[in-house]
Amino acid sequence: MLKVNEIIAPLQAEVLAAGEMEAELTGGYCGDLLSDVMGNAHDGSVWITIQSHPNVIAVATLVGIPCVVITNWAEVENDTLERARAEKITVIRTHFTSYQAVSVLSGLGIPGTKRDG
């Protein structure tokens, strides 16, 4: 199983907020609709999204997501990063599209998973 700190280089990512860098990633979920992520992502997932507002951190905390990957080098609000640091959630940003990020993470062996399957 990969840890958060092991996906940074393959994603050519920048760490914006360092949380639990040694947290193990049990799967991955890609989505931009917060209610979809709340209903389908699972504890230990890496979340790939274009969303970067503070509610992303609220959802990650609720679900138990240790790492959020912001794609397309999207701007991230300072409030989002402050919340992430307070909740110890890692936020990284990559130039890759969401599709490319998922492809990289899948190639590393992180499975796409969903709560009920």
Considering only the top CATH level, what class is 4-107? alpha beta
3-state secondary structure at position 33 = coil
Residue pLDDT, tens place only, 19-43: 999 999 999 999 999 999 999 999 9
- The helix or strand, by DSSP H or E, that contains position 28, with its residue range, turns out to be strand 27-30
> What's residue 1's pLDDT?
85
> What's residue 117's pLDDT?
53
The pTM score is 0.95
> What's residue 104's pLDDT?
98
Torsional sign, CA 15, 67, 80, 82: negative
